[in-house]
A and B are shown apart, each in its own frame.
Chain A
């Protein structure tokens, strides 16, 4: 790891100012991504500004929404009663990720900015447009079993790895920030992460020095009946090969509302409106679920190593929907 300096501050404007004023500075929260990549010399900030002393760790359940502070730990969010009741998919997704220790360390805002597990990005040496713009993408014609089939470009096919973000993508989530000039802004979750396109090193719409202060997850009746299914090479402590975050509202056997997002197969959190529309208004049957899955993967661009992910993601989604639909109906939500 290269030498660096480390600072802490207790005021949001101070933290933002310190990072914004220095091009090589970065925020540090739980450190589960940052310290990992520092050790690999994949990122080389000369200043880390720790946000852990900021008063942003709270989780507040209000009528109509849950406010989650940026530095709330993944563990605390996963066990929060309101999260488990109103959007169990988020709790399940969080608990499917990493290990207890890392969930204790990791923050929810850090999770939004998690970096890819692409080995070419992480090895610090291979050609990688995300790590070193303009050098090329080693994965396109390399070992690409783990890579994305959705949302990729000719410059990058790295998977966005977060489980929690797969759930947040299908919920009504907004991301709240403070910009370098001190102004606040609210970003729709769907707008936060950018497609790799020709600039895979740019992963979000955040400016340098813009700090996430929290998330708001709006209540969604369908989310009370929601679930996360993750398929991976081993059953614990592994990233998804494919995952599905699903919510269904079924009235008299007819799907009246649906939310669907896929993980492990796309370059950013991937909500599928097409799959949702394929379900709404029809019976909750396996045939319909298969149709929705086909819609979700219709734009897939598989490569030599990851072609299996298309069928795997379809089957993951069909299984998640089938399991969810077979659950006993919840109490009517208010």
Chain B
């Protein structure tokens, strides 16, 4: 049997330097949840489909269940715990709150980070662009309507109140 050599990796997580020792086959999501105890990042499908494991890697949304932790060596990772403004919720999270964009909440961390990535490059996405931006995030409660409405409201479009 192949002897698996554990590897020491260093990366930035939520603007803090982190060092950890992992097996090369450890998934990034398992490093985040089990080693770093940042359990805001969820595991839904573990197959790269549901998107609730979404984190930002060097600012771009990725699925942390479909990456090895060693691939993140030297990168800047942001989890939902690091997305918050120091004092509480971000404007995006406030908008989701206001529009009831959260129901059971399991998909929400991934939704927030996927939307954050979208809004970083597109300040005023259309409804269609928002829906495409969320194509990798499954929600089985909201039907996406309130999430889309919240994003439109945040960006000052349609007053956030049109049927979408």
Contact = CB atoms under 8 A, between A and B. Distances in A.
B106 to A, nearest CB: 17
A333 to B, nearest CB: 28
Interface stretch (B11-19, B32-40, B129-137): B129-137
A105 interface: yes
Contacts of A36: 47-48, 66
A6 B132 CA distance: 34
Contacts of B61: 100-101, 104
Nearest to A75: B60
Contacts, number: 89
Interface string B30-53: 000000000000000011110100
B75 to A, nearest CB: 10
B152 interface: no
A117 to B, nearest CB: 12
A3 B117 contact: no
A331 to B, nearest CB: 25
A183 interface: no
Contacts of A32: 48, 66
Contacts of B117: 100, 104
Contact of B136 (A2, A3, A48, A101): A101
Interface string B53-64: 010010011110
Nearest to B133: A100
A50 B49 CA distance: 23
Nearest to B66: A35
Contacts of A304: none
Nearest to B74: A53
A38 B46 CA distance: 12
Contacts of A38: 25
Nearest to A48: B24
Nearest to A79: B121
A237 B27 CA distance: 23
B104 interface: no
Contacts of B57: 104
A6 B136 contact: no
Interface in A1-42: 1-6, 8, 28, 31-32, 35-36, 38-39
A4 B5 CA distance: 8
A1 B47 contact: no
Nearest to B70: A6
Given A3-B25, A104-B62, A31 B3 contact: no
B51 A99 contact: yes
Interface in A29-74: 31-32, 35-36, 38-39, 46, 48, 50, 52, 73
Contacts of B133: 100
Given A3-B2, A6-B68, A236-B135, A101 B63 contact: yes
Contacts of A8: 73
B67 A31 contact: yes
Contact of B51 (A28, A50, A73, A101): A101
B7 interface: yes
A1 B66 contact: no
Contacts of B25: 1-4, 38
Given A28-B71, A46-B2, A105-B67, A4 B136 contact: no
Interface in B60-99: 60-63, 66-68, 70-71, 73
20 contacts: A1-B25, A2-B25, A3-B4, A36-B48, A36-B66, A39-B47, A46-B2, A48-B68, A52-B71, A95-B132, A99-B135, A100-B132, A100-B133, A102-B63, A102-B136, A104-B61, A104-B62, A104-B117, A236-B131, A237-B135
Interface of A: 1-6, 8, 28, 31-32, 35-36, 38-39, 46, 48, 50, 52, 73, 75, 95, 98-102, 104-105, 236-237
Interface of B: 1-5, 7, 23-25, 27, 46-49, 51, 54, 57, 60-63, 66-68, 70-71, 73, 114, 117-118, 131-133, 135-137
- The 9 closest A-B CB pairs, nearest first, are A99-B136, A3-B4, A6-B24, A236-B135, A104-B60, A1-B25, A101-B136, A101-B63, A237-B135
